[in-house]
Amino acid sequence: GNTDSSNWLIFADTALKLGDHRHLGELTFRREKRDGETTKKQDLFNYAYNWLISDPWYVGAVATWERDPIRELDQRYTLGLTVGRDIFNDAHRFLTVSLGAGYTNEEFFTSEDSGATGLWALRYTQDLLDGNIAFFHNHTLNYQFYGVNNTIFKSNTGFRYDIIGDLYSNISLRYDYETEPAAGAENQDTTLV
């Protein structure tokens, strides 16, 4: 057609376990232009720390930071404490859930708000075809107990192909949803990567 568009996404996801300590990190840089106008400009950082106090139970901490000037979000950060449980954790599958509470501060172009936040997270990976391919689904849900009681849901679901060693190729569907986005912004966003 007559549309000139370009987009790119850099996404890194890592998990590191050292004894009873697990570190989970996620980094996203996303840009999109259509006919010379920037339509997406999102930066997101997630970090979760788990201390396995009594296998399969753990306590942890989370920290997130996000900015999206296109949606008028100058910045949003969340700090929280969690309690979680590994449902499965073997060589072929991993499923963990956590629940917690935290503090969120949001700065929009025209306003600022902050307060208590409820936290939920799920991470799932299942090996398929002798471990060369894996299915994964990760999501987080933050419920803000202040202002307009915004609910923020982010998920990443797809398949991972083991190229060599710990280097993977992924295909995934990312879905973001907010019940109360900034004025004029849509409340959902879907990306096939």
Question: How far out from the chain centre does Cα 51 lie?
Answer: 20
Backbone CA torsion sign across 190, 71, 49, 166: positive
pTM: 0.87
pLDDT score at 105: 94
pLDDT score at 112: 87
Q: Which among 165, 187, 191 is positioned nearest to 177, based on CA atoms?
A: 187
The single-letter DSSP state of residue 70 is G
Task: Spell out, as residue ranges, where the chain has pLDDT lower than 70.
Answer: 1-2, 183
CA–CA separation, 139 and 166 (whole Å): 22
pLDDT score at 91: 86
Average pLDDT, the chain: 91
pLDDT score at 191: 85
Contact 27, 48 (CB under 8 A): no
Please write the tens of the pLDDT for every residue from 40-88: 888 999 999 999 999 899 999 999 999 988 888 899 999 999 999 999 9
Beta strands in 90-150 (DSSP E): 93-108, 112-128, 133-144
